[in-house]
């Protein structure tokens, strides 16, 4: 049952809609005046509003704009006896769900209203879901509250209930396997097997046997009948990681499994039927591989029914603090340490780092830092970030002697020089020095104390 408001100065139309919608089981209210209708919208919520376009004092377009200000979640359908393409375009731009003519077929009108209410229901469910995950920091073992990750969670929720094949796209280290597992764990297949195979991590000569199994004696070393991973994943989900590495001959065999749900073991003569959901992942540009002829176009479209893109960490930097805290807790517990947090300067270094290795690289950095740290806080000197040290060739020409140099000492000298020059430039103001060095005041103070700058 929906709560519906009818706004129309035509008594006949108003009564017709009221009777029809009440018979459909809805809670219906009607009024002849747009201003009274707007007042009611401020006081109570309506799921759907059916409004006449031509009304005295306030027309339907103006009423629509006002409704969207006070009750943006209400779905609005405009009804008119004077339809024109220009008005229709204007109505849709202002947020109307639809724009229909008086005299429309009753069954068609019912379908439009049903569609509007279904859309509102989906939108509200999505909004509730986003609210739930925004109030948490994780979803199905994935950590992150950024808009990019919320969109991933939303896509997982949508596709999990379906049997559709999914292609997960993203750079190495973004957590594509976690996305696949989340889809499985939120699906009707969650009690059945979740099987993972890395298509680029198995020798090509063994891939077919890994996929489909083999019969005894089918090749050297095949001493017993062995089921493949597709059999093991029966009624569950199989995750094909690095699908772009699949050799052409196996692409043909996989296409048969996708299309016909059958395969044969290596050396076998019988078809084996299998009910399995296929989730694939790649960090390659498969469309490019299709154009180059190294990946079958028909297989690509069969696997890429629903794509999910996992954003790289550099595009969701607001997740770095959340992930960092999670990894500190994880490895502090694993190593029996009491590390609780990370210094502000160390966090600043992480926030400014591009993370080419994504979440996997961040985890490795924190694991290494926790292992090396002797205090209860991660300090910058134990935050070993590859590539963080800036080139210092602009500071001075450096010739590395045969017996080597102390890199940390040289970098400290360069850092000291820059800070001292900044302080001179702003006549000793640490606040202004922090501004021109583009670091926080706390970060600058920490560096000054660490370097012993007077």
Distance (Å, whole) CA 378 – CA 121: 47
- Contact assessment for residue 25 and residue 53, using Cβ atoms and an 8 Å cutoff: no
- Contact assessment for residue 40 and residue 66, using Cβ atoms and an 8 Å cutoff: no
- Contact assessment for residue 97 and residue 116, using Cβ atoms and an 8 Å cutoff: yes
Domain residue limits, the chain:
3-127, 143-309, 315-382, 407-451
Given CA atoms 64, 65, 66, 71 in this order, what sign does their dihedral have? Answer: positive
Query: What pLDDT does 112 receive?
Result: 82
Query: What pLDDT does 394 receive?
Result: 38
Q: Give the architecture-level CATH label for domain 315-382.
A: Orthogonal Bundle (1.10)
Q: Which among 368, 400, 402 has a CA at the least distance from the CA of 385?
A: 368
User: Coil, strand or helix: which one is 306?
Assistant: strand
Fold (CATH) for 143-309: Rossmann fold (3.40.50)
The yes-or-no answer to whether 315-382 and 407-451 have a common fold is no
Look at strands 166-169 and 306-309 and give their pairing: parallel
* Residues in a beta bridge with 100: 79
Cα end-to-end distance, the chain, whole Å: 73
CATH number of 3-127: 3.40.50.2300
Chain centre distance of CA 291: 27
The residues, any chain, with a CB within 8 Å of residue 240's CB and separated by 6 or more, are: 197, 199, 246, 254, 278, 279, 280, 281
- Contact assessment for residue 200 and residue 245, using Cβ atoms and an 8 Å cutoff: yes
Query: How many Cβ atoms from other residues are within 10 Å of residue 2's Cβ?
Result: 19
User: Coil, strand or helix: which one is 342?
Assistant: strand
10-residue stretch averages of pLDDT, the chain, 454 residues long: 86 88 88 87 87 79 85 84 64 76 79 76 48 51 84 89 92 93 92 91 83 84 85 92 91 91 87 92 92 93 93 92 89 88 86 90 91 85 58 45 70 79 84 83 76 76
Query: What pLDDT does 454 receive?
Result: 67
For 278, half-sphere exposure in the C-beta direction (CA atoms, 13 angstrom radius) is 24
Residue 386 vs residues 17, 173, 314, 349: alpha-carbon distances, Å:
68, 16, 15, 11
Phi and psi torsions of 254, nearest 5°: -65, -35
Q: Which CATH number fits domain 407-451: 1.20.58, 1.10.10, 3.30.70, 2.40.30?
A: 1.10.10
- Contact assessment for residue 50 and residue 5, using Cβ atoms and an 8 Å cutoff: yes
Alpha helix ranges (H) inside 135-217: 147-160, 176-185, 204-212
Q: Tokens in use for 452? A: 């012993």
- Contact assessment for residue 47 and residue 56, using Cβ atoms and an 8 Å cutoff: no
Q: Which residue has the tokens 């469910």?
A: 125
Q: Which residue has the tokens 């000569």?
A: 205
Query: How many Cβ atoms from other residues are within 10 Å of residue 348's Cβ?
Result: 17
Query: What pLDDT does 83 receive?
Result: 56
Q: Which among 241, 238, 237, 251 has a CA at the least distance from the CA of 170?
A: 241
- Contact assessment for residue 69 and residue 62, using Cβ atoms and an 8 Å cutoff: no
Q: Work out the angle at residue 374's Cα, subtended by the Cα atoms of residues 368 and 378, and round it to the nearest 5 degrees.
A: 60
Query: What pLDDT does 88 receive?
Result: 64
Query: How many Cβ atoms from other residues are within 10 Å of residue 430's Cβ?
Result: 15
Look at strands 341-342 and 306-309 and give their pairing: unpaired
Distance (Å, whole) CA 264 – CA 231: 10
User: Coil, strand or helix: which one is 23?
Assistant: helix
Chain centre distance of CA 258: 26
């Amino acid at each position: 049952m929906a709560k519906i408001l009818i706004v129309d100065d035509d008594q006949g139309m108003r009564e017709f809609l009221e009777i029809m919608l009440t018979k459909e089981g809805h809670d219906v209210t009607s009024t002849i005046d747009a201003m009274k209708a707007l007042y009611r919208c401020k006081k109570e919520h309506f799921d759907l509003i059916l409004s006449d376009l031509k009304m005295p004092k306030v027309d339907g377009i103006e009423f629509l704009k006002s409704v969207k200000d006070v009750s943006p979640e209400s779905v609005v359908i405009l009804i008119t006896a004077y339809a024109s393409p220009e008005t229709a375009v204007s109505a849709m731009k202002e947020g109307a769900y639809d724009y229909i003519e008086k005299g429309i077929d009753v069954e068609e009108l019912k379908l439009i209203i049903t569609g509007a209410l279904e859309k509102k229901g989906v939108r509200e469910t999505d909004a509730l879901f986003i609210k739930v995950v925004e109030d948490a920091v994780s979803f199905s073992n994935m950590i992150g509250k950024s808009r990019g990750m919320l969109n991933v969670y939303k896509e997982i929720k949508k596709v999990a209930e379906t049997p559709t094949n999914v292609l997960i796209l993203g750079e190495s280290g973004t957590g594509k396997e976690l996305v696949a597992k989340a889809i499985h764990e939120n699906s009707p297949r969650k009690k059945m097997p979740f099987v993972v195979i890395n298509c680029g991590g198995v020798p090509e000569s063994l891939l077919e046997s890994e996929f489909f199994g083999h019969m005894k004696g089918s090749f050297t070393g095949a001493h017993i009948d062995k089921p493949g991973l597709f059999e093991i994943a029966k009624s569950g989900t199989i995750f094909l990681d690095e699908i772009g590495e699949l050799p052409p001959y196996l692409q043909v065999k996989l296409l048969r499994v996708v299309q016909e749900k059958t395969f044969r073991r290596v050396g076998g003569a019988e078809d084996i039927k299998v009910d399995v959901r296929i989730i694939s992942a790649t960090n390659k540009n498969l469309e490019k591989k299709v154009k180059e002829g190294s990946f079958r176009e028909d297989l690509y479209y069969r696997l890429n029914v629903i794509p999910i893109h996992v954003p790289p960490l550099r595009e969701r930097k607001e997740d770095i603090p959340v992930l960092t805290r999670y990894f500190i807790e994880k490895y502090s517990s694993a190593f029996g340490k009491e590390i609780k947090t990370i210094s502000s300067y160390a966090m600043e270094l992480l926030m400014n780092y591009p993370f080419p290795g994504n979440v996997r690289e961040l985890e490795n950095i924190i694991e290494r830092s926790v292992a090396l740290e002797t205090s209860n806080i991660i300090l910058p000197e134990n935050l070993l970030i590859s590539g963080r040290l800036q080139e210092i060739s602009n500071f001075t020409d450096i010739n590395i002697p045969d017996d080597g140099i102390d890199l940390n000492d040289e970098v400290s000298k360069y850092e000291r020089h820059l800070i001292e020059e900044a302080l001179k430039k702003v006549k000793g103001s640490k606040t202004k020095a922090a501004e021109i060095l583009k670091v926080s005041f706390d970060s600058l103070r920490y560096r000054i104390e660490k370097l012993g700058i007077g």
